[in-house]
Structure 1
Amino acid sequence: MKKNIILIGFMGVGKGTTARAYAKRYGVYNIDTDDLIESKENRSIPKIFKKKGEAYFRRLEQETADWIECCVDGTLVSCGGGFYQVDNLKKLGTVVLLHASFDWIHHRLSSAKNAEKKLAKRPLFSDPKKAKKLYREREKAYRKIADLIVDVEGKNMEEILEEIHAGCEKRFSLSKESK
């Protein structure tokens, strides 16, 4: 079993923020699937969506997942909101869902210091009603594929990091015992 931690969850739930804090606290590498895609394409996610469409972007996500499966281990991977749809997600590592209500996520994004930038970076969040519908559609799928669910609402970063670490350490030690 790969010792990657794969953070999934709805856009804006704090996967990137959590990943950076976890990497710093536990001394692991951290990569972001959206950053990898932007680097490969040499353009932002909104520009990829605008120029090539969502289907093209989803193909890029699958290519990224294939690379992670092949070449990455012992790393924390924060994923875009739709990355859970790649066909090899469970082979990438322990899948951790960061969960919060849609209203909490919307408030987090819209009340941030750089709210305009945070919202512009998420093309599927441009219409809050459509985003809420998408949230409801994805919620069951997220829960179904997750190995560990961490509710981030009402918790400080330290509590979130501890919960992720304890849950993943338990899974990693169980996988050693089963060999």
Structure 2
Amino acid sequence: MKNIVLIGFMGVGKGSVARAMVKRSKFIALDTDDIIESIENRPIKKIFAEEGEEYFRNLERKTARWLKKSVENTIISTGGGFYKVPALRKVGTIVLLNAPFDTIYERILSHVDAPKKLKKRPLLQDLEKARALYEERLPQYLKVANIVIDVSNKEIDSIAKEILKKVKK
């Protein structure tokens, strides 16, 4: 079986869903942001601050090339902009986790570690810019995705089950 690549806006729950999917399958999970932080030995927020967004996007492309060549049977949760890497479908089946912006933002704010979650997302620091970015990305996410899952008002475990069911078809 090939990889499952979870895309969607920051805070939509890609990492949580990936972990839930691992419990229900023979897959392992990787997170592209974790890989990048490991390569650089520094947090993404610091990479953005010190090197800028374009440098970070180059790291995403490098990570995608490695995933395509080296990874199988893996659930890959991605950063919010990872959908832009070239030939992403060659990495695996692309699953968009989607919800309205306000739903995503409320989910982040209601999380136990909300301040930490907000702090590690540099593009969420300005709410209006974040909303505009969501609106800009949504049609692009839809264009790239093989499967779209609406995650609004759903438990993480039921989202995981739904994805695994749809991917097996």
Q: TM-score, normalised by structure 2?
A: 0.98
Report the identity percentage.
53
For 1:53 and 1:158, how far apart are their aligned partners in 2? 36
For 1:93 and 1:69, how far apart are their aligned partners in 2? 8
Unpaired segments of 5 or more residues in structure 1? 171-179
In the other structure, the counterpart of 1:52 is: 51
In the other structure, the counterpart of 1:10 is: 9
In the other structure, the counterpart of 2:113 is: 114
Q: In structure 2, the residue corresponding to 1:26 is in which secondary structure?
A: coil
For 2:81 and 2:62, how far apart are their aligned partners in 1? 14
Identify which range, 132-141 or 154-163, moves more after superposition: 154-163
The structural deviation recorded for 1:80 is 0.2
Pick 1 or 2: higher relative contact order, CA cutoff 8 A, min separation 6. 2
Letter in 1 for 2:164: H
Kept in 1, the 8 Å contact 2:16–2:156? The answer is no
In the other structure, the counterpart of 2:139 is: 140
Is 1:32 aligned to 2:31, yes or no? yes
For 2:114 and 2:122, how far apart are their aligned partners in 1? 14
Question: What is the 5 A alignment of 1:92-171?
Answer: 92-170=91-169
Unpaired segments of 5 or more residues in structure 2? none
The structural deviation recorded for 1:166 is 1.1
Structure whose CA Rg is larger: 1
Aligned residues: 169
TM-superposition CA deviations, 1:18-75 (whole Å, max 9, x none): 0011112213110000000000000000000000000000000000000000010110
For 1:8 and 1:137, how far apart are their aligned partners in 2? 15
- Structure 1 residue ranges, 4+ long, deviating more than 3 angstroms after superposition: none
Kept in 1, the 8 Å contact 2:17–2:157? The answer is no
For 2:156 and 2:59, how far apart are their aligned partners in 1? 31
For 2:141 and 2:45, how far apart are their aligned partners in 1? 23
Please give the root-mean-square deviation of Cα atoms over the aligned residues, in Å: 0.9
Kept in 1, the 8 Å contact 2:31–2:77? The answer is yes
Kept in 2, the 8 Å contact 1:8–1:97? The answer is yes
For 2:87 and 2:59, how far apart are their aligned partners in 1? 14
The structural deviation recorded for 1:88 is 1.7
